């Protein structure tokens, strides 16, 4: 699966909508889960990849001692700028970095952590080789990826609605990227290709996604992710119209008031 430039571009109004809509709706529960796992490993130096607007960074900063050095990176500087504006309760080193070519020396971190970023790497085995390079011997790579779109109900509604609106050429970002890297055998193969000799450990974790009204997930997915770039690249119905259609679909599936649906992800742990 290749990933295009538009599918890794989080800029413009996307960082704000991502932080205010997507983070509390689907990312917060898994951020807290990863932070607990990080704390259990008692690392001294942590590198976060694809930190986005900082939801995992904040969760780790809340549970790790201040003696632990925490370096948070992302490919997109606008996402980091939003993370910095939110802030953390303890010092964090923020740095723009490409996962494909990390600007860090060898064997410098006890733990590399990444929340819902691996799906975006254009060459996953190469990215994993970079993570292994910067890990100390015995260090740990900890990351999560979304399960298939059918196991994530809000995303599934959006995908089906977009397919109905654009039958000849539906936007497929959600299927191709966030929900396109869920097979354990493929992930294990890519980790081995990146030089990890140990067998990875997989855990599937279901949670609940909640929002106060159906327009929140509609706007979050349509305007707070690169789905927006796909919609704006197509002629016909505009972004507002697509968002309205997705709001109606969400209300039809989950009701007109507060909405709730299943989300599911895989947590992957592997030692260097």
Range name among 6-20, 56-70, 80-94, 110-124 with the lowest pLDDT average: 6-20
In this prediction, residue 6 carries a pLDDT of 45
Q: Which helix (H) or strand (E) holds 270?
A: strand 259-271
Mean pLDDT value across residues 185-204: 98
Range name among 13-22, 112-121, 168-177 with the lowest pLDDT average: 13-22
pLDDT in tens, 200-229: 999 999 999 999 999 999 999 999 888 999
Range name among 28-37, 199-208, 223-232, 259-268 with the lowest pLDDT average: 223-232
User: Taking 60 as the threshold, does the pLDDT of residue 101 lie above it?
Assistant: yes
**Helix, strand, coil content of the chain in percent (nearest 5):** 45, 20, 30
In this prediction, residue 10 carries a pLDDT of 56
Beta strand 201-211 with 135-146: parallel, antiparallel or unpaired? unpaired
In this prediction, residue 1 carries a pLDDT of 47
User: Taking 70 as the threshold, does the pLDDT of residue 98 lie above it?
Assistant: yes
Q: 173 vs 18, which has greater pLDDT? A: 173
Q: 16 vs 36, which has greater pLDDT? A: 36
Per-residue H/E/C for 132-153? HHHEEEEEEEEEEEECCHHHCH
Indicate the CATH number for domain 5-271.
3.40.50.150
Strands (E), 122-249: 135-146, 201-211
pTM: 0.92
**126: which DSSP letter?**
H
User: Taking 50 as the threshold, does the pLDDT of residue 7 lie above it?
Assistant: no
pLDDT in tens, 37-86: 999 999 999 999 999 999 999 999 999 999 999 999 999 999 999 999 99
- Count of CB atoms within 10 A of residue 180's CB? 18
In this prediction, residue 15 carries a pLDDT of 76
Q: How far is CA 211 from CA 20, 21, 122, 258, 268, in A?
A: 11, 9, 32, 6, 27
In this prediction, residue 12 carries a pLDDT of 60
User: Taking 50 as the threshold, does the pLDDT of residue 4 lie above it?
Assistant: no
No. of H helices and E strands in the chain? 11, 7
Mean residue pLDDT of the chain comes to 93
């Amino acid at each position: 699966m290749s990933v295009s430039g538009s599918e890794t571009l989080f800029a413009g109004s996307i960082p704000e909508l991502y932080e205010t809509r997507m983070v509390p709706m689907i990312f917060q529960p898994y951020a807290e889960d990863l932070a607990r796992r990080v704390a259990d490993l008692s690392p001294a130096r942590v590198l976060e990849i694809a930190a986005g607007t900082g939801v995992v960074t904040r969760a780790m900063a809340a549970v790790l001692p201040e003696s632990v050095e925490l370096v948070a990176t992302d490919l997109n500087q606008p996402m980091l700028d939003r993370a910095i504006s939110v802030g953390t309760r303890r010092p964090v080193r923020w740095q723009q970095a490409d996962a494909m070519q990390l600007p860090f020396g060898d064997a410098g971190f006890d733990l590399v952590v990444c929340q819902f970023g691996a799906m975006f790497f254009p060459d996953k085995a190469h990215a994993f080789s970079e993570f292994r390079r910067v890990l100390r011997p015995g260090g740990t790579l900890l990351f999560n990826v979304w399960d298939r779109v059918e196991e994530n109900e809000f995303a599934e509604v959006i995908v089906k609605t977009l397919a109905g609106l654009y039958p000849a050429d539906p936007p497929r970002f959600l299927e191709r990227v966030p929900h396109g890297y869920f097979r354990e055998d493929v992930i294990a193969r890519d980790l081995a290709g990146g030089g990890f000799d140990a067998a990875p450990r997989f855990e599937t974790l279901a949670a609940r996604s909640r929002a106060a009204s159906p327009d929140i997930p509609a706007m979050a997915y349509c305007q707070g992710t690169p789905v927006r770039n796909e919609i704006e690249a197509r002629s016909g119905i505009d972004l507002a119209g697509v968002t309205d259609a997705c709001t109606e679909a969400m209300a039809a599936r989950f009701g007109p008031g507060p909405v709730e649906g299943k989300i599911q992800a895989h947590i992957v742990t592997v030692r260097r």
